[in-house]
């Protein structure tokens, strides 16, 4: 009981409904939890047997097969995940924008973790200058579409994962079609401002949380934009920086391992959101400085006057993002 009490600690204060087959064991547990300070633990009278006899809906938890029990054993051992959490991951849908520096570690760890359906959007081909950091791709894949190279690598890593590849650049013309395909979480590994603003607006309108990451030289940042619960990208950055002050990684350079750190943090946040556990980085911008070896955190808030997620939005349809980011309007 003491162990169970600790494991249930995160539910303290919430209403808990306990059930067993006939309602006897759950009644004893409810009493024990009440003694342990859980005031809202109730036992389902008659148990699941009476529930089912009433004709009320019953959903049987999915099972893991033998190979999955072994593959995901280190997840199953964690009380916050367990068999049910792993099942949840296997039926979750995560869309990764960009199979580059950030998308590589994110996609690899999400695939290894058993995210059942992994979307990858990228229109680029593997270039030699990518290999210093984009660990999804190998020297043998030079010249191949990144989506094809990513698909192959993910398939080799974990056959449980269905990869949905989009060999296209995210644009106002395709974003609704892609986002409409049932994604629980989006990982933003875009390397340019037009895509970032487009994805932001689309995700606010589609109400899909976005795990944001960005990198430059030795510094990176990550946060979670959850529509209706915290700021969006435009709340933080209403305007893109002037192009001359915002060099891309092709122009400014990046330490090879940096996207590994930030993309892995994005992977962790995506898994937390898919599992519904922990404290997501909503309203918090996490900053990492590889040279200093330090992490910092800045609180960020939703802006009620934000043009997209604010109380009276002024932008309600897609704009010309390339033009917007070029600062011409």
Q: Which stretch binds Zn ion (CB under 5 A): 44-52, 62-70, 214-222, 227-235?
A: 227-235
Distance, first Cα to last Cα, the chain:
63
Using rule CB under 5 A, residue 235 touches Zn ion? yes
What is the distance between the alpha carbons of residues 171 and 327, in angstroms, rounded to a whole number?
A: 18
Residue 235 CB, shortest distance to Zn ion, in Å, is: 4
The count of residues interacting with Zn ion (CB under 5 A) is 5
Using rule CB under 5 A, residue 202 touches Zn ion? no
- When binding is defined by CB under 5 A, the residue of 90, 110, 232, 258 that contacts Zn ion is 232
- When binding is defined by CB under 5 A, the residue of 234, 255, 266, 268 that contacts Zn ion is 234
- Judged by CB, which is closer to Zn ion: 46, or 307? 307
- Judged by CB, which is closer to Zn ion: 163, or 306? 306
Q: Which stretch binds Zn ion (CB under 5 A): 123-131, 156-164, 233-241, 268-276?
A: 233-241
Buried b (16+ CB within 10 A) or exposed e, 196-232: bbbbbbbbbbeebbbbbbbbbeebbbbbbbbbeebbb
Count of C-beta atoms within a 10 Å radius of residue 324: 17
Q: What are phi and psi of 296, to 5 degrees?
A: -130, 160
Residue that has been written with the tokens 């934000």 in this structure: 306
- Judged by CB, which is closer to Zn ion: 88, or 302? 302
What is the distance between the alpha carbons of residues 248 and 265, in angstroms, rounded to a whole number?
A: 21
Using rule CB under 5 A, residue 199 touches Zn ion? no
- Judged by CB, which is closer to Zn ion: 231, or 260? 231
Q: Which stretch binds Zn ion (CB under 5 A): 9-17, 58-66, 90-98, 230-238?
A: 230-238
By C-alpha distance, which of 178, 75, 189, 68 is closest to 135? 189
Q: Are 99 and 148 in contact (CB under 8 A)?
A: no
Per-residue binding string, Zn ion, 270-309, x by CB under 5 A, is ------------------------------------x--x
- Judged by CB, which is closer to Zn ion: 76, or 175? 175
Residue 232 CB, shortest distance to Zn ion, in Å, is: 3
Count of C-beta atoms within a 10 Å radius of residue 314: 9
Using rule CB under 5 A, residue 27 touches Zn ion? no
Question: How does DSSP classify residue 283?
Answer: T
Q: What are phi and psi of 130, to 5 degrees?
A: -80, -25
List contacts with Zn ion (CB under 5 A): 232, 234-235, 306, 309
């Amino acid at each position: 009981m003491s162990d169970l009490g600790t494991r249930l600690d995160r539910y303290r204060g919430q209403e808990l409904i306990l059930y067993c087959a006939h309602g006897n064991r759950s009644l004893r547990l409810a009493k024990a939890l009440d003694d342990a300070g859980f005031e809202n633990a109730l036992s389902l009278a008659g148990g699941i047997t009476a529930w089912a006899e009433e004709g009320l809906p019953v959903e049987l938890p999915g099972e893991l097969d033998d190979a999955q029990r072994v593959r995901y054993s280190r997840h199953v051992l964690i009380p916050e995940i367990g068999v049910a959490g792993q099942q949840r991951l296997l039926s979750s849908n995560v869309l990764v924008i960009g199979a580059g520096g950030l998308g590589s570690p994110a996609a690899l760890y999400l695939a290894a973790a058993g995210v059942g359906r992994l979307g990858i959007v990228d229109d680029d081909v593997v270039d030699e200058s990518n290999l210093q950091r984009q660990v999804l791709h190998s020297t043998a894949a030079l010249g191949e579409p990144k989506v094809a190279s990513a698909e192959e690598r993910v398939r080799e890593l974990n056959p449980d994962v269905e990869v949905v590849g989009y060999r296209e650049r995210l644009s106002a013309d395709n974003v609704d079609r892609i986002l409409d395909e049932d994604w629980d979480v989006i990982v933003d590994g875009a390397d340019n401002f037009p895509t970032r603003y487009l994805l932001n607006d689309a995700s606010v309108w589609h109400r899909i949380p976005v795990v944001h990451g960005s990198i430059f030289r030795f510094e990176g940042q990550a946060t979670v934009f959850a529509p209706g619960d915290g700021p969006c990208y435009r709340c933080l950055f209403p305007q893109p920086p002037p192009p001359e002050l915002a060099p891309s990684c092709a122009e400014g350079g990046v330490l090879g391992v940096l996207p590994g750190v930030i993309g892995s943090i994005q992977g962790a946040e995506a898994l937390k959101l898919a599992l519904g556990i922990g404290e997501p980085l909503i309203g918090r911008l996490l900053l990492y400085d590889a040279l200093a070896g330090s992490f910092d955190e800045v609180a960020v808030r939703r802006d009620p006057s934000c043009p997209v997620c604010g109380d009276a939005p002024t932008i309600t349809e897609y704009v010309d993002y390339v033009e917007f980011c070029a600062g011409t309007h």
